[in-house]
Structure 1
């Protein structure tokens, strides 16, 4: 399968929020789960925006474009509501939030196509500039390096072999890093999507909405759900409930993200009760087979 993940895919399903102003980094520091005050030019951030109850309202890849401008890349179906909610908390901060989706283009890079543009594969959430484009290295999939390229809308498109968008979507699932979309808004604390294990939560930074819930889940052993990689023989809908055979009414999990697998069937990320992960599972009668995650979960921070 690895040879399939080589090429460049347009990502029109992603939107971009521009955060501009002298207080851009400090504003995001007080709103999101990751540390933006210490964000360096060669770094990006995986981060979540939470409700006061600690539930994820959006997930972002955040990157710096200049000393006063940061970009938040997220699923476009969440952008309007997220932008409106974030803007409510600007108050007196010297920062302006706008929908900059029309000003930027997003591309997925995989395999040799990434290497030809970036020169080498770097650890996840590393960032490098190539002309006017920013390349954010992501978690690999099927041992193939991957990256997100963000460039001005009027910049030349990256050159290389085309990668089918469906294959990119599959690589996102196989990377084990979930991107929040509308069907699963307000459903998970970050650890339920393994965000503390993949660089999406900083437990040493200052306060942000939902922080107490996130800290309690981490340090008091109250976490009951984790995200697992799974395979099914037929289509799965994001947001669909997962059941164990012994209880047809009480779900034990939720489909977070799904994509057609090149070899047939569907691969998915599913958030499950940890206690149910060792048993038989199904979604509407479609059996799920759990697969190994491509990364280790952190037991302690």
Structure 2
């Protein structure tokens, strides 16, 4: 988080922990507000890589799971970046900006992701920069969010006159990418109608929507289908080759290798779960069978999670957290069907 932006948020009541907004003074009430009220959240859990140059689109199209060529200016797509074996090194929201592409991804993987993608630039006319300090990311949700976006700019999503970009993601949530110079004024205007909440509230909404975020703890653990990326439009099966494409295609069309899928689950009255924690299933004994992908405190208490676990265990057994005799997970529904 940019130092000036952090100081500004603290002046407006933000409590900062490890570079993220923990809350604005009432974490429990803010979590309840996230369920259906109109909110605004700082998204500093995400970092930004910028891709510019005349070959930026073709370079990214040959590296990522999503159809980069189909992203119109001012719009975005979810995507993944894989190893040659089809394992995810990153999941992200890729935004087409006036000067190139902005990749919004977990800040825990920025250095490694930047280095690896840079290895494949070769003679391509593309520049990759880490530009998190030049932008502010805000998340808007709730019934007033679209109205406030129009009030800000006189229009809805897309490229804005002040250099910002507003993109819509599931459940009509809005990700607002702001130049640092306009961020403070924008925040002041938004908070008159949208309640400021901690970053974890937005992450909880992602969990409820079944949108996974690959972090350092879960890199190289999942093929895209194990993270349901094809179910949220993050994988194109019509495009050409990219690293891991053959593995991803075989998993899709031949049903090979997709024994685990991403599910929503809850834990009551446990210690705080974390991404990368192992899961165990009664039907598989002492052998770890899955992992926690993302976890956040839930409005009703306990924790809500996205977990990658065998479908058979989820349907026919008991799945437990961290040990074969650990707390049992309670599974719930995602907003899309998982087959």
The unaligned stretches of length 5 or more in structure 2 are 1-31
Residue pairs, 1:210-289, within 5 angstroms: 210-222=244-256, 223-233=258-268, 234=270, 235-278=272-315, 279-284=317-322, 285-289=326-330
Alignment of 1:115-130 (within 5 A): 115-119=146-150, 128-130=158-160
Deviates more, 1:270-279 or 1:39-48: 39-48
Partner of 2:173: 146
User: Partners in 2 of 1:127 and 1:80 — Cα distance?
Assistant: 30
CA distance in 1, matches of 2:102, 2:221: 25
TM-score by length of 1: 0.91
What whole-Å deviation, never above 9, does each CA across 1:111-168 have from its counterpart, x for those lacking one?
0342223349xxxxx952333221121222xxxx312111112223332221232222
1:109 to 121, 136, 140: 140
Unmatched runs of 5 consecutive residues or more in structure 1: 121-125
CA distance in 2, matches of 1:247, 1:112: 45
Find 1:37's aligned residue among 43, 61, 69. 69
Q: Distance in 2 between matches of 1:184 and 1:50?
A: 12
Displacement of 1:39:
1.8
TM-score (norm 2): 0.81
Greater share of helix: 2
Aligned pair count?
288
CA distance in 2, matches of 1:226, 1:3: 25
Confirm whether residue 58 of structure 1 aligns to residue 93 of structure 2: no
Superposition RMSD in Å: 1.8
Indicate whether 1:46 and 2:78 are aligned: yes
In the alignment, the residues of structure 2 paired with residue 291 and residue 147 of structure 1 have an alpha-carbon distance, to the nearest angstrom, of 25
Structure 2 counterparts to residues 123-202 of structure 1, below 5 A: 128-131=158-161, 132-140=163-171, 145-156=172-183, 157-158=186-187, 159-160=190-191, 161-202=195-236
Select between 204-213 and 232-241 the one with higher mean Cα deviation: 232-241
SS of the equivalent of 1:200 reads: coil
Distance in 1 between residues matched to 2:199 and 2:36, nearest whole Å: 12
